[in-house]
């Protein structure tokens, strides 16, 4: 997508975050949302969702898993936008109860067990009573094997992107599984030897069953 079709990461991130905000509103109708954001593309998608939710009048705050110098460039750009919008960026998770926590800490590139700040935020999310909506995968879950690290987010729902990863299917950590369009053209799947049809022909977010098929 990047090299051959010139569909930029920032475009895919925007699609992911907007769809995440849409699902958060549709499923939870929240008045207050806490977004936990990691340093990579997953965190950037969470920050995009924070912007869209704030624009719609939802009270949003963001907690980062790392300092600015460790953020990927596209993620740092999203953070800069939120700061200019005066969306609260907190050093620690708030004490007051949120209606939903968005988990955008760790994506499919996870290697090993979550550590440090990310592990602490996963533990905080699991200890609370608010439902957790994860982006792409619950943080701490191996999307290839389905093995859950310690710690691993136990999500109420997960919005995965483009196609479902095999490790998500049937995992207790995933909760209800949704699939979002990030504008991957059929040509890309064809080059990978995949025939997926047009799963988003009628809507950009669909719910999947435990076998990865539309409900």
Give per-residue pLDDT as tens, 172-186: 999 999 999 999 999
5: left (phi over 0), alpha (psi -120 to 50) or beta: alpha
Alpha helices in the chain (DSSP H): 9-28, 41-55, 73-84, 116-127, 186-191
Give per-residue pLDDT as tens, 73-129: 999 999 999 999 999 999 999 988 899 999 999 987 777 789 999 999 999 999 999
The C-alpha atoms of residue 2 and residue 195 are separated, in whole angstroms, by 20
The C-alpha atoms of residue 37 and residue 56 are separated, in whole angstroms, by 20
The DSSP symbol for 13 reads H
Across the range 52-67, mean pLDDT stands at 97
The C-alpha atoms of residue 137 and residue 200 are separated, in whole angstroms, by 20
Secondary-structure class of domain 9-208 per CATH: alpha beta
Domain ranges of the chain: 9-208
132-135/157-161 β-pairing: parallel
Model pTM score: 0.96
């Amino acid at each position: 997508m990047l090299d051959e079709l010139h569909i930029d990461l920032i475009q895919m991130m925007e699609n992911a975050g907007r769809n995440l905000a849409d699902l958060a509103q549709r499923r939870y109708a929240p008045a207050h949302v806490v977004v936990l954001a990691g340093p990579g593309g997953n965190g950037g998608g969470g920050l995009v969702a924070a912007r869209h939710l704030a624009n719609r009048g939802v009270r949003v705050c963001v907690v980062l898993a790392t300092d600015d110098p460790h953020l990927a460039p596209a993620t740092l750009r999203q953070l800069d936008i939120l700061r200019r919008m005066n969306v609260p960026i907190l050093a620690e998770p708030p004490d007051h109860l949120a209606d939903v926590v968005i988990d955008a800490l760790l994506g499919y590139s996870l290697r090993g067990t979550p550590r440090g700040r990310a592990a602490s935020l996963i533990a905080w999310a699991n200890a609370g009573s608010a439902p957790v909506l994860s982006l792409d995968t619950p943080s701490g879950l191996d999307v290839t094997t389905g093995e859950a690290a310690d710690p691993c987010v136990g999500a109420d729902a997960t919005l995965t992107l483009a196609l479902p990863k095999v490790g998500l299917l049937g995992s207790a950590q995933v909760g209800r599984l949704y699939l979002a369009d990030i504008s991957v053209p059929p040509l890309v799947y064809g080059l990978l030897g995949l025939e997926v049809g047009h799963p988003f022909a009628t809507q950009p977010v669909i719910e999947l069953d435990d076998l990865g098929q539309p409900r």
